[in-house]
Amino acid sequence: MPTDQSELLRAIHDAHGPALLRFALRLTGDYTFAQDVVQEALLRAWKKPAILEQSDESARAWLFTVVRNIVIDDRRSARYAREILTDNLPDAGTSDGADALLDAWVLSDALASLSLEHRTAVVSAYYLGQSVAEIARRNDLPEGTVKSRLHYALRAMRIALQERGVTQ
């Protein structure tokens, strides 16, 4: 390869390499593999000197297409689809109950922020497993009122949990 083509390849790498690497990284999520993809794309450009002599925009578009195609080909390959077998399995973690306790505490706190009517509707329906008809009969309310209370109670619960940073 003549020196001027080497300089062209180096100039293309300097001009487009970082953008190609970011693009490949976004497609793969793997920095090392993204570097390999960019290197392969530049190698293909080196093998096709006509690409190096094109305008800067044309060479850039061609390189981005090559990077995308390399990633697609890799994802379709049998190597990517195979599982990696290992004898070293990670230890199964044991629950100490702290997560469940914390969840119960946060839910209890959020329930406490509801009005008595809304809290009663939620506890009856979701903790005691009662139907809308059963709740209405027990509290001497129309079923529509129970449904409405459940709807607004769940909405208030969502807001309470958002305020506590549990949901978005």
pLDDT tens per residue, range 119-136: 999 999 999 999 999 999
**Model pLDDT, residue 1:** 44
pLDDT, one tens digit per residue, over 11-56 is 888 888 899 999 999 998 889 989 999 999 988 888 887 877 788 7
The burial class, CB within 10 Å (0-12 / 13-18 / 19+), for 146 is: buried
The pLDDT mean for the chain works out to 86
Nearest 10 degrees: CA dihedral of 89, 91, 92, 94?
A: 180
Domain 108-163 adopts which CATH fold?
Arc Repressor Mutant, subunit A (1.10.10)
Cα(101)–Cα(94) distance, integer angstroms: 15
Overall pTM surpassing 0.85 (yes/no): no
State in words which class domain 3-81 has: mainly alpha
How sure is the predictor about 84, in pLDDT bands with cuts at 50, 70 and 90? low
Give the closest residue to 149 by CA, choosing from 127, 167, 124: 124
Kindly report, as residue ranges, where domains of CATH 1.10.1740 are found in the chain.
Answer: 3-81
- Cβ-contact 132, 145 below 8 angstroms: no
Is residue 74 classed as helix, strand or coil in its secondary structure? helix
Average pLDDT in the 46-72 region?
86
pLDDT tops 80 at residue 160: yes
Residue 138: which residues within 8 A CB-CB, separation 6 or more? 124, 130
Kindly report, as residue ranges, where domains of CATH 1.10.10.10 are found in the chain.
Answer: 108-163
For tokens 């390849």, the residue is 9
pLDDT tops 70 at residue 81: no
**Model pLDDT, residue 3:** 57
The burial class, CB within 10 Å (0-12 / 13-18 / 19+), for 41 is: buried
Q: Which of 58-62, 76-80, 140-144 has the highest mean pLDDT?
A: 140-144
